[in-house]
Structure 1
């Protein structure tokens, strides 16, 4: 069921909580945006990364949370009324104090977004800008159609593109030294 959007209303996390359980929306600067239904290849990539990251962080303080998992950003640390509410495809959280019963308050250590044709603009522009603004140290944009992974690293508050990887590459995290993902395995998972 879709929500009734009011163009004059500034939506927050409290509105998000009141929407039907089946609603798939995020909030960008107070504006609700419908999420796309993922493809099989999209979900294959998310599944593979969830398993790979889970194995890498086994026994570590960091935790892997696949979507649906809510991440809230607020300029004034009022996470109950946050007006940027996202459900990244994958979030790595290393500070357990950021977790509450609804998800994560503030910037995870690493966020992965897997592009869908209808939402790739949001991931490449709006989320990129929000993640940069709110201090997400590392942001991966995975394009399952073109089989690429762009790794962005926060440097002085600005994202720098670290590397662009393809299917034939070993994808490496900038901040997690031994985290390596084999592109061929990731992009073929679920095919």
Structure 2
């Protein structure tokens, strides 16, 4: 599988892309179409074919709002999608040599040096993905492996249909340990923010 050659022209139609080619972040910057896409090790993934469901967006706003409120005045930042997170292969990797860029539903970054005007370079400390129609395999497989490999310390997967929150914490052996599955009214701790938790009912809008 060859690396796609850079085209000086702007791509305005996703149908111009070859799903069998390997793309870089430099290619990604030239795409100007309505669809949101992600690259995982050069492979093209369409994030979604239509606007996310209302419940998906409500959950994203509920969690990001709680985090934003708690982090106000603290040296941390939280960003909901669309927000680009790039995973370069090395500290000196150029745009042409960066083959992974994703848009997590929520990213929390404690190291301001990872932030630039285009998003985040390197692993956020915490990522939340809310499963949408067609994204379950990506969230539970491709992204699970990616976030574990790149050092994301805390990974939440939220299933709106099951009304559950599954949490993985990165161990000292750089492997994810599932620390809990929350599917009923309780406080859900955010491990990277000691002493802070989010209520299950706030996520799923229960009285």
Q: Shorter-chain-normalised TM-score: which range? A: over 0.9
State the match for 1:140 in structure 2. Answer: 156
In structure 2, runs of 5+ residues without a counterpart are: 1-12
**How far apart are 1:7 and its partner, in Å?**
4.6
State the match for 2:6 in structure 1. Answer: none
State the match for 2:185 in structure 1. Answer: 168
CA distance in 1: counterparts of 2:19 and 2:160, whole angstroms: 33
Taking structure 1 as the reference length, the TM-score comes to 0.94
- Contact persistence 1:110–1:137 (CA under 8 A): yes
In structure 1, runs of 5+ residues without a counterpart are: none
Aligned length: 189
How do 1:107-186 and structure 2 match up within 5 A? 107-155=123-171, 156-186=173-203
Taking structure 2 as the reference length, the TM-score comes to 0.87
Of the two, which has the highest radius of gyration? 2
State the match for 1:22 in structure 2. Answer: 34
**How far apart are 1:9 and its partner, in Å?**
2.5
Runs of 4+ with >4 A deviation: none
State the match for 2:204 in structure 1. Answer: 187
Distance 1:18 1:54, change over 3 A: same
Q: Deviations over 1:144-189 (max 9, x none)?
A: 1101111100011100001111241211112211221111121128
Q: Deviations over 1:80-113 (max 9, x none)?
A: 2321110000000111110111100000010000
SS at 1:188 equivalent: coil
